[in-house]
Each structure stands twice: as structure tokens, then as C-alpha cells.
């Protein structure tokens, strides 16, 4: 007779996550728009707290340069692959990766804040990384320590900045780096 498997607390917290390519139907377009908008609003709020935000439209609290990403994400990310994380048929996260030749850049990675710590960010990042064996780069705000730890756990290293915005950490995962899990 076998004993029942015991579950650790982290097993119980794990979500049944499915990551798939956006189909850009009405549902996915609406979901990607909402997820990216939430990401951008939180980022701008965090930047304002630190005195780093540029001027924003009073109604949306977003700088005009982000308007297209929210209004028409399909067009804004036409040169990218957009992956959506789904839990119980609900879109709860998004990662946008632009692959150009042998290199890639993660443009956006967002997980619903209410579900963080349950494998959602890892699932999104792993799905994006599975699309390329080449160098992958990204930037992340220095105050997002959990995100930086996630990236480092997948072989990303901090590098000299290619972006002059204060507080931005630039990271790369070299082609020969294997993900650590």
C-alpha cells in the first residue's frame, strides 16, 4: 500500500497555468490591452513615487507614448510574439518578446499581482525563453527585486545599461546559458 503524496505549501500555492500565443481575437486583444495597461499604470505610479515619471495624460495617468500599446496592442506588438497566461480560462499574465535573428528582447512581462508567488511569472518567462536559444535581453526597474531574482534564477546577468533612464537595470541571458530550475 502506498501512502498518499504529501504536498508542500508551495505545491498548494501553485496555479494550473497555461501559457499560449495570443490569438488576437476580441477576447485576447481586450485581455492584452488590460494587462499591459495595468502594468504601465503600476510602473508609472512607482516612478512617480520615486520622482522619475514623465508627464502623463490626466485621464489615463499614462504618458502619450504608451497609448498605442493600450489602444491597439496587436498593432503595437506586430513585430513581437505575445504570450498570454491563463488560469481557469481567465487571462492573468502576458509576456511580449521580440525576436530578431539570433537575439531577443523581452519587452513586457506582467503577472496579476494577486497571483504572484504562485509560479505565474516563472511560467511566462520560461515560455518566452523557450522561443529562442540566442541572447535575450530585458530591462527592469531596480525596485522590482522579486522580478530581478526571477530573471537571475534563469541565468540573466546585470550588464552596462543601454538605456539612460535612471533606476533601470539592464540584463542579458547569453546564448550558452542554460536555465537554472
pTM of the model: 0.87
Domain residue ranges in the chain: 16-173
Determine the Cα angle at 164 with ends 157 and 125, to 5°: 35
CATH class of 16-173: alpha beta
Strand boundaries in 5-156, DSSP class E: 17-21, 81-87, 90-100, 103-111, 135-141
| List of residues 6+ apart from 71 with CB closer than 8 A | 33
* Angle 68-73-78 from CA coordinates, rounded to 5°: 105
Within a 10 A sphere around the Cβ of 134, how many other Cβ atoms? Answer: 14
CB burial readout 24-35, b (16+ within 10 A) else e: eeeebbebbbeb
C-alpha cell recorded at residue 172:
542579458
Q: Would you give per-residue pLDDT tens digits along the chain (181 residues)?
A: 433 333 344 455 778 999 999 999 999 999 999 999 999 999 998 998 998 887 666 556 788 889 999 999 999 999 999 999 999 999 999 999 999 988 999 999 999 999 989 999 999 999 999 999 999 999 999 999 999 999 999 999 999 999 988 999 999 999 865 555 4
Amino acid at each position: 500500500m502506498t501512502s498518499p503524496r504529501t504536498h508542500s505549501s508551495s505545491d498548494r500555492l501553485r496555479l494550473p497555468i497555461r501559457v499560449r500565443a495570443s490569438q488576437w481575437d476580441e477576447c485576447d486583444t481586450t485581455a492584452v490591452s488590460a494587462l499591459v495597461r495595468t502594468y504601465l499604470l503600476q510602473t508609472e505610479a512607482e516612478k512617480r513615487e520615486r520622482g522619475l515619471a514623465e508627464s502623463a495624460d490626466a485621464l489615463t495617468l499614462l504618458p502619450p507614448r504608451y497609448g498605442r500599446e493600450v489602444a491597439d496592442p496587436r498593432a503595437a506588438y506586430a513585430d513581437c510574439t505575445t504570450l498570454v497566461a491563463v488560469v481557469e480560462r481567465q487571462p492573468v499574465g502576458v509576456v511580449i518578446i521580440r525576436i530578431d535573428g539570433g537575439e531577443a528582447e523581452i519587452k513586457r512581462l506582467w503577472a496579476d499581482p494577486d497571483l504572484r508567488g504562485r509560479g505565474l511569472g516563472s511560467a511566462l518567462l520560461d515560455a518566452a525563453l523557450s522561443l529562442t536559444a540566442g541572447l535575450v535581453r530585458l530591462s527592469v526597474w531596480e525596485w522590482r527585486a522579486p522580478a530581478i531574482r526571477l530573471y537571475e534564477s534563469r541565468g540573466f546577468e546585470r550588464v552596462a545599461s543601454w538605456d539612460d533612464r535612471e533606476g533601470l537595470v539592464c540584463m542579458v541571458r547569453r546564448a550558452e546559458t542554460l536555465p537554472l530550475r
